[in-house]
Structure 1
Amino acid sequence: MTDAISLEELLKDSPTNWGKWGADDEVGALNYLTKDEVLRGIKSVQQGEVFTLQRLINDPKGDPVWPGRSPAERTMILDESTWDKDDAPQFPGGLHYADDKINAFLQGSTQYDALGHVWYGGKLWNGYDARTTIGGMEKASVAPIGERGVVGRGILLDMARFRGKETLDKGETYTHEDLVACAEAQGTPIEKRDILVIRTNFLQQFFDQGDSFYEGFNEPGLVYSPELVQWFQDMEIPNLVTDTIANEVTYDPNNGVALVLHNALMRNLGVTLTEIADLEKLASSCADDKQYTFLYTAAPLKVHRATGSPVNPVAIK
């Protein structure tokens, strides 16, 4: 990987949306989700069926996380045994209660990336100086995304079923042309400003394989090309949601660079990334009734100066 081309060289001619929504913008392509887009999403609701897309935190089977991060740890602080002790808190009427806390990476579960989460060349989204990240995200943190919220028309692109697989393979790639073909095969074309929700079912391998899942870690996903970036720009895609840890193929097989699209799409175009979604119940429903669009709504936690935040997105068919 040491011989990989630099991101500055690879993306030197890549389009950007810096300044498009003003010099102080921190939510990027979510600006495409106007009131009209909210109403377009609502028109997708046909059945009133609700699907939550967050993976369970502190799952007894384990929590899949990016290598180097640790899963959430939940600690019980108060329970009935607390009142076995002489110094237990006492409340009028004899109230007892339970309390607990978690110690977790903010991006250690289903989560939204802040637009300033990754960068190159010393500049974040919208041209903010990378030194504004020191000690916390002074600019382009996740809090403005949480404040704004995300609502629009979502479309499921079931790449695993499209390719006739239970899960996509390690390092398997697909392009924007594959997304278009998948949507057409499902009978519902992708429309401008759709929220793309892509199923690979790759994280099933984490639950099947345990720790060996991380050996030669290389997730499947979208692969960089100038044409793909231009397609995202032309289609005004506001939000990319996937069921993998990092949305895209981890190491680009064509240039050796890690997480190219985090930079080409998020840093440069302001496309918001949502990761580690649980799409299995939604995908099963879509396969059954052939309705692949829905109202998508989500709001990450408003955490001051944070690089990301847990979220429980909701799809309503």
Structure 2
Amino acid sequence: MSDDRAWDSTRRGTLPGVSYLDSELGRVADLSSSQVASALQLGTGGTVYDLDSGRWPGMPLFAGHPAFQVLRYRTAHGQDLAGDMDEWRGRNDVHMGFTTELMSGTMHTGTHLDALCHTTCGDDNEWFGGFTSDAELTDFGPRRAEASSIAPIITRGVLADMTRSHGGQPLPAGHVIGWDEFSAVLEASGTTIREGDAVLVNTGYLQIWTQDPSVVSRHKGAGIGIDVADRLADLGVVLVGSDTETVEADPSPDPVNPHPVHIRLMIEQGIHLLELAWLGDLARDGVTEFLFICLPLRVRGATGSMVRPVAIV
């Protein structure tokens, strides 16, 4: 763990009654001040790429997550009819009103980070840091390695545009990206991976995400294989992301392990995963290196966080 960490969990305003252990924070908490300062130099051109794919009622979601919905909650007209704004009674000659909403769904909606508690393994349902369901899963969510423990992420970002090896087209369904293919794309673009990087993998999936299901089915599930995960972990990356629901190939090429990359990166290495990131604009413009900023929401007990990451060049 670096003595020059850019982020210190004890230096911020904390949630009531919450303190964090180093063992639950993962690699993003180890980013150094010098790594952050170096990454900031990549954004001096001032061009901002929005990497958020957005959220809307009825949007596609990975199986097992509840549907996303936005419902009207209060309106100015409704307040007039109800007459229940007692604090304004007799003091609202300007007829001020407001509109609010009730939102339901999962933090794994649209572009999001997986918290390190999200993936478990073994009979005791263990996640990163050696925490288990029996010991740490409460009625209000996990107590350790949950979303509020994720550090703000400001680092060098690298794009591996895998459509380059497929004629610029979205990868075929279930395609497993191996290290040879992955490294060839990086080499062709003159890109190297450094310790502390956030590595984003473009498969082209989001370009056809909302099209006819018959089109989507021809490209769904492409992702990295375990050899890529191993090499990225060895290179010291702090985050791996993609434009798909799972980052890794799905269905898994391992007949007895449905998500080997999640287990390797999240549980064993403390590397966060970013899913459903909008990478098409970076790929279109040939951007492979950038300042990457991703700020998770501090929702205690959540297993992930909706995010709006940006790339700046």
TM interval, short-chain normalised = 0.7 to 0.9
- Greater Cα offset, 170-179 or 89-98: 89-98
**Contact 1:70/1:108 (<8 A) preserved:** no
**More relative contact order, 1 or 2 (CA 8 Å, 6+ apart):** 1
- Residue 229 of structure 1: how far off its partner (Å): 4.4
Question: 1:33-81 deviations in whole A, cap 9, x for unaligned?
Answer: 211111121122242101121121116xx42210132431111123343
Matches within 5 A, 1:14-163: 24-58=22-56, 62-82=58-78, 85=81, 87=83, 89=85, 90=88, 92=92, 93-121=94-122, 122=124, 123-131=126-134, 132-135=136-139, 136-145=141-150, 148-163=151-166
Q: How far, CA to CA, are the matches of 1:250 and 1:199 in structure 2?
A: 15
- Residue 168 of structure 1: how far off its partner (Å): 1.0
Partner residue, 1:223: 225
In the alignment, is residue 281 of structure 1 matched against residue 281 of structure 2? yes
- Residue 133 of structure 1: how far off its partner (Å): 2.2
**Contact 1:79/1:97 (<8 A) preserved:** yes
Q: Structure 1 residues 183, 216: CA separation in 2 closer, same or farther (over 3 Å shift)?
A: closer
**Contact 2:175/2:223 (<8 A) preserved:** yes
- Residue 84 of structure 1: how far off its partner (Å): 5.6
Q: How far, CA to CA, are the matches of 1:74 and 1:230 in structure 2?
A: 39
- Residue 307 of structure 1: how far off its partner (Å): 0.7
What's the TM-score, normalizing by structure 2?
A: 0.83
Stretches of structure 1 that go unaligned for 5 or more consecutive residues are 1-21
Q: Structure 1 residues 202, 217: CA separation in 2 closer, same or farther (over 3 Å shift)?
A: closer
Q: How far, CA to CA, are the matches of 1:38 and 1:184 in structure 2?
A: 25
Matched residue of 2:56: which SS?
coil
**Contact 2:128/2:145 (<8 A) preserved:** yes
**Contact 1:82/1:88 (<8 A) preserved:** no
Q: How far, CA to CA, are the matches of 1:30 and 1:214 in structure 2?
A: 33
Matches within 5 A, 1:207-222: 207-210=210-213, 219-222=221-224
Q: Structure 1 residues 41, 176: CA separation in 2 closer, same or farther (over 3 Å shift)?
A: farther
Q: Structure 1 residues 309, 271: CA separation in 2 closer, same or farther (over 3 Å shift)?
A: same
- Residue 217 of structure 1: how far off its partner (Å): 9.6
Q: How far, CA to CA, are the matches of 2:37 and 2:179 in structure 1?
A: 26
Partner residue, 2:3: none
Q: How far, CA to CA, are the matches of 2:34 and 2:51 in structure 1?
A: 24
Matched residue of 2:36: which SS?
helix
What's the TM-score, normalizing by structure 1?
A: 0.82
Q: Structure 1 residues 190, 117: CA separation in 2 closer, same or farther (over 3 Å shift)?
A: same
- Residue 162 of structure 1: how far off its partner (Å): 3.3
Q: How far, CA to CA, are the matches of 1:213 and 1:73 in structure 2?
A: 25
Equivalenced residue count is 285
Question: 1:252-296 deviations in whole A, cap 9, x for unaligned?
Answer: 2243521111001110000111111111222222x2xxx411110
Q: Structure 1 residues 167, 296: CA separation in 2 closer, same or farther (over 3 Å shift)?
A: same
Q: How far, CA to CA, are the matches of 2:219 and 2:121 in structure 1?
A: 23
Q: Structure 1 residues 218, 38: CA separation in 2 closer, same or farther (over 3 Å shift)?
A: same
Q: How far, CA to CA, are the matches of 2:211 and 2:68 in structure 1?
A: 20
Q: What is the letter of the counterpart of residue 98 of structure 2? A: Y
Matched residue of 2:194: which SS?
coil
**Contact 1:223/1:249 (<8 A) preserved:** yes
